[in-house]
Amino acid sequence: MNSKLKLDQLNIHFGAAQAVKNVSLDFPANTVTAIIGPSGCGKSTVLRSINRMHDLTPSARVTGRVLLDDADIYDRKVDPVAVRRRIGMVFQKANPFPAMTIYDNVISGYKLNGRVKKAEMDEIVESSLKRVALWDEVKDRLKTSAMALSGGQQQRLCIARTVAVQPEVILMDEPCSALDPIATLKIEELIDELKEQYTVVIVTHNMQQAARVSDFTAFLYLGELIEFDVTKKIFTNPAKSQTEDYITGRFG
Amino acid sequence: MITYALRRRLTNHLMTILMVGAALAVMAPLGIIFVHILKMGASSLSMDFFTQIPKPTGESGGGMANGLAGSALMIGLASCFGLPIGILGAVYLTEFGGTRFATAIRFSADVLAGIPSIITGMVAYTLLVVPMKGFSALAGAVALALIMIPIVLRTTEEQLKMVPGTLREASLALGVPFWRTSLKVTLVSARSGIITGVLLSIARIAGETAPLLFTALGNQFWSRKLTEPMAAIPLQIFNFAISPYEDWHRLAWAGALVLVVIMFTLNLTARYFGRNRH
Amino acid sequence: MTEHLVTQFDTDLNEIRSKLLEMGGKVEKMIHDSMKALVERNTELAESTIEYDHEINRLEVEIDELCLEALVQRQPAARDLRFITMAMKIDTDLERIGDKCRNIAKRARELNELPPLKPYIDLPQMADLAAAMVNDALTAFVRWDDQLAYTVCHRDDEVNLLNEQIQGELLTFMIKDPGTITRAIKINAIARHLERIADHATNVAEMVIFMVKGKDVRHLGIDPK
């Protein structure tokens, strides 16, 4: 399997504290990889390094390489903005732009960048909303505020906004942690569909969710990669005792 | 036991009365001012007030049309100078707020906001009136802008700080450059709060008299040139109120009424925008 | 192994474990009792053994309920998941062993009504072997001992050999004297039941290996390591 994304000896420091230690990981194309681990293990930190979100934190220092199609996104010549156009991100709490309508939220990736042809907009909005199975629910109120949607709908809207700009990789940072079980299942089903087109990396606290949605699972503990394997293997017969202890609820 | 319960009830009543009294004491001055100005000004208010310029001494009638226009013009001009500086400065402070330079700016803004407005007028006098060899509307607008900037800067910064970081991240994650994110997401998300701040700062400068004394000076007639002295409502109220003529006194009251109504409207509008925030 | 953060989970798992042990002990008793009823021509013991099967069935239901509850409440993973799912399969095998013992006791009851064909020597030996296999498979289960489980799998061959031996012997009886056919068929059935019991014990041992190693050894030919 060819890897779409690759972490090579990734180290992340915040000031003097090291949050991520020497993590190397391969994310094969068109798969879902879950990153699990107890709070503070560095899983979100790893995820956010993949689209250079740490650039905004002055104290953060990322060393090592993050290879997207074998090109290091931390290379000096690479523009972080260009990286983020190829690697989209969905956040823990649904964060639609409050001042925008549903329609504008979906198209926001284009509008905010000021590069959009009027004729294409309708089509992008419709296909993106259909992609996340939200079209039928909102097609009659596209021009109303996105804030009137339910939490689960807002999160799907955020995913629609992300897929609208046609990224290659989608990062998800605990996308269901604020949602009820039904909304969670809808998102999970969606993740399964998304992998046909995208490479998905999801951070989750919910181990059952990782077991349900992912093809591969990485277990991080105290900033180190403890184990990475096929998800089924991790959850039925992990190789490392730390992984076993964590997923069976013996520490956490 | 009974005495204790009684004492507790008495204390309760006493405190309630004290607090209601304090609340009334806050509201009473506003009521008194409003009623008094309404009583004195309403009778002198007519269409002439809005259409005529002051009549020469001795003649009755006349209005403050030139003052209204002058105030509007100078406030507009001050906004043109002050709002971009204040708002963009606030954007700078929120996005790069950690530096020592930013702390210095914040401190300067706080000091500037605390400086008596008459001193601001004197500064504008030294900077503009003296070199230009004459009082001017332009100098007045600059003085008003100087008062406006710190208010707009600090209120806008507060509003921008309230925009959740997740929105900024959402925009950046879509591949939107940092500067576009600041202007199109952060600023837009905070817009109702910023409008509130802007309206309150306009309300503040609309009533300023002192800085205009040294700059716009005032004018009995129509004036269309920015380089010449210009009338303004607060200046006219001031000048007419200290004059010995009864007719001018009445015009001053009418002006005061109009000014209070304008302030009142601005404040209410500001509150409306303030409440509308998500 | 350290304890779970939720100690109730440990309590639940221990209860499943001890119930399975109880069930295994009772199954062993049934093997011995049914054989004793046959060898000593004790019809009363045969009757009580037939009755005793209800105990086994009850335990199977109880264990399944406990396992389902644990699955729903704890959503177990890794070794806990393997333990619980295997416990659910093991209790099925034990229940089947109970059924076989019941059938043996029924045949013993019938045989006791007829004159003895020959002294029983190989059958009790077979029963002892099968009972020991059940015992060891459960010991391996409790101790997470895959090596012991492997030995159980290997011992199945001995039981099969004895079964073939008995069948050959019975065949000679029947050829020599057709009057023995009724009894020989019943004895043959008992031998087949014992052989099946050993197969169930082997199943249990294979599940123990999966539980310990996370590796499925069924239908592969047993090979330690």
C4 vs A236: CB contact, 8 Å cut-off?
no
B169 vs A108: CB contact, 8 Å cut-off?
no
B171 CA: distance to closest CA in chain A (Å)? 7
Q: How far apart are CA B237 and CA B263, in angstroms?
A: 15
This model of the complex carries an ipTM of 0.88
Q: Could you tell me the pLDDT band of residue C158, with boundaries at 50, 70 and 90?
A: very high
Count of CB atoms situated within 10 Å of the CB of A139: 13
Do C98 and C57 form a contact (C-beta atoms < 8 A)? Answer: yes
Q: What does each C-alpha distance from C104 to A98, B147, C167, C183, C190 come to in angstroms?
A: 76, 105, 16, 13, 5
The count of domains in chain C is 1
C201 CA: distance to closest CA in chain A (Å)? 24
pLDDT at B1: 60
Structural domain contains residue C219: no
Q: How far apart are CA B76 and CA B202, in angstroms?
A: 9
Residue C50 in this model has a pLDDT that exceeds 90: yes
C78 vs A207: CB contact, 8 Å cut-off?
no
Do C122 and C165 form a contact (C-beta atoms < 8 A)? Answer: yes
C215 CA: distance to closest CA in chain A (Å)? 8
Q: How far apart are CA C138 and CA C135, in angstroms?
A: 5
What are the backbone dihedrals phi and psi of residue A67, each rounded to the nearest 5 degrees, phi first? Answer: -100, 120
Q: Hey, is the C-beta of C6 within 8 angstroms of any chain A C-beta?
A: yes
**Residues of chain B found within 8 Å of residue A160, distances taken between Cβ atoms:** none
Structural domain contains residue C218: no
**Residues of chain A found within 8 Å of residue C9, distances taken between Cβ atoms:** 249
Structural domain contains residue C134: yes
For chain B, give every domain's residue range.
2-42, 49-275
Range of the domain at C20: 7-213
Do A15 and A59 form a contact (C-beta atoms < 8 A)? Answer: yes
Q: How far apart are CA C91 and CA A8, in angstroms?
A: 48
Structure tokens at A88: 């989209």
Torsion from C-alpha of B13, B18, B22, B25, nearest 10 degrees? 100
Q: How far apart are CA B174 and CA A109, in angstroms?
A: 5
Domains of chain A (ranges, CATH numbers) = 3-247 (3.40.50.300)
- At C63, the amino acid letter reads I
Q: How far apart are CA B211 and CA C64, in angstroms?
A: 88
CATH number of the domain at C123, please: 1.20.58.220
Q: Could you tell me the pLDDT band of residue B42, with boundaries at 50, 70 and 90?
A: confident
Within 8 A by CB and 6+ apart from B131, the residues are none
Question: B81-106, pLDDT tens digit by residue?
Answer: 999 999 999 999 988 877 888 899 99
- Average pLDDT score over chain B: 88
Do A174 and A188 form a contact (C-beta atoms < 8 A)? Answer: no
Q: From 3.20.20.70, 3.40.50.300, 1.10.3720.10, 3.50.50.60, which CATH number describes the B49-275 domain?
A: 1.10.3720.10
CB under 8 Å, gap of 24 or more: what pairs does A124-133 form?
A: A124/A164, A125/A164, A128/A160, A128/A161, A128/A163, A128/A164, A129/A157, A129/A160, A131/A160, A131/A163, A131/A193, A132/A156, A132/A157, A132/A159, A132/A160, A132/A163, A132/A190, A133/A186, A133/A189, A133/A190
Nearest to A249 among C6, C214, C215 (CB): C6
Scanning every residue of chain C, which has its alpha carbon at the shortest distance from the alpha carbon of A240?
C78
Helices (H), chain A: 43-50, 80-86, 102-111, 118-131, 135-138, 151-164, 181-194, 207-213, 231-236, 241-247
| A vs B contact (3+ beta-carbon pairs below 8 A) | yes
* pLDDT above 90: percentage of residues in chain C: 78
Structure tokens at B131: 């070199």
Nearest to A113 among B166, B175, B278 (CB): B175
pLDDT at B45: 84
Count of CB atoms situated within 10 Å of the CB of B172: 24
Count of CB atoms situated within 10 Å of the CB of C114: 12
B169 vs A95: CB contact, 8 Å cut-off?
yes
What are the backbone dihedrals phi and psi of residue A61, each rounded to the nearest 5 degrees, phi first? Answer: -130, 120
**Residues of chain A found within 8 Å of residue C86, distances taken between Cβ atoms:** none
Which positions 153-192 of C are in contact with A (Cβ < 8 Å)?
none
For C175-186, what is the mean pLDDT?
A: 91
Structural domain contains residue C1: no
Which sign does the torsion angle of CA A122, A126, A131, A135 carry? positive
Within 8 A by CB and 6+ apart from B209, the residues are B234, B235, B237, B238
Give one word for C15, left, alpha or beta, with left for phi > 0 and alpha for psi -120 to 50.
alpha
pLDDT at C222: 54
Nearest to C79 among A208, A244, A251 (CB): A244
Chains that touch B (3 or more CB pairs under 8 A): A
Do A109 and B174 form a contact (C-beta atoms < 8 A)? Answer: yes
Q: Hey, is the C-beta of C9 within 8 angstroms of any chain A C-beta?
A: yes
C5 vs A208: CB contact, 8 Å cut-off?
no
B171 vs A53: CB contact, 8 Å cut-off?
no
A85 vs B175: CB contact, 8 Å cut-off?
yes
Structural domain contains residue C41: yes
- Average pLDDT score over chain C: 91
Q: Could you tell me the pLDDT band of residue C201, with boundaries at 50, 70 and 90?
A: very high
Q: Could you tell me the pLDDT band of residue B40, with boundaries at 50, 70 and 90?
A: confident
Nearest to C78 among A208, A236, A251 (CB): A236
Do C214 and C82 form a contact (C-beta atoms < 8 A)? Answer: yes
pLDDT at B278: 44
Residue B123 in this model has a pLDDT that exceeds 80: yes
Scanning every residue of chain A, which has its alpha carbon at the shortest distance from the alpha carbon of C2?
A250
**Residues of chain A found within 8 Å of residue C81, distances taken between Cβ atoms:** 235-236
Q: Could you tell me the pLDDT band of residue B192, with boundaries at 50, 70 and 90?
A: confident
Do B159 and B190 form a contact (C-beta atoms < 8 A)? Answer: yes
A81 CA: distance to closest CA in chain C (Å)? 40
A250 vs C75: CB contact, 8 Å cut-off?
no
Structure tokens at C123: 């059958």
Burial class (CB in 10 A: 0-12, 13-18, 19+), A83: buried
pLDDT at C225: 43
pLDDT at B276: 56
For C9-18, what is the mean pLDDT?
A: 91
A91 vs B177: CB contact, 8 Å cut-off?
no
| Nearest partner of B64 among B244, B241, B278, judged by Cα | B241
For B209-216, what is the mean pLDDT?
A: 88
Structural domain contains residue C196: yes
**Residues of chain A found within 8 Å of residue C77, distances taken between Cβ atoms:** 207, 211, 235-236, 247-248
- Spans of chain A below 50 pLDDT: none
**Residues of chain A found within 8 Å of residue C79, distances taken between Cβ atoms:** 244, 248
Question: B216-272, pLDDT tens digit by residue?
Answer: 888 888 887 888 888 888 998 888 888 888 888 888 898 999 999 999 899 898 888
